[in-house]
Amino acid sequence: MIKRIVKMSFQPEKIEDFKLIFKTNWHHIKGFEGCSHVELLQDENNPSIFFTYSLWQSEEAVNKYRDSELFAKVWSATKVLFNDKPQAWSVKEVLV
């Protein structure tokens, strides 16, 4: 199981545009093969910063999504709204 976190910072006047893009595509992303969960989070102190948190069966599943037509469509509409470079991490749970 891969947990994927993506941090994105938007132009303040473009936040509602991004929310609409996410709302419109959320069920398609969640339904993508290998994805079991997707959620959108907003920073408490800076409303221009958002995070997506998603759960994937494997790194291969994440990469299949990133190479998909769906990702290309969503990302091309989203990236023009940024005011800073996005950051992404694939993480796994560590049991101690």
Domains of the chain: 2-91 (3.30.70.100)
Task: Evaluate whether 78 touches 21 at the Cβ level (below 8 Å).
Answer: yes
Q: Exposure string (b/e) for 66-85, b if CB count within 10 Å is 16 or more?
A: eeeeebeebeeebeebeeee
Instruction: Write down the pLDDT at residue 96.
Output: 80
pLDDT per position as a tens digit, 11-67: 999 999 999 999 999 999 999 999 999 999 999 999 999 999 999 999 999 999 999
Can you tell me the distance from the alpha carbon of 87 to that of 96, in angstroms, rounded to the nearest whole number?
27
What's the token pair of residue 31? 């339904």
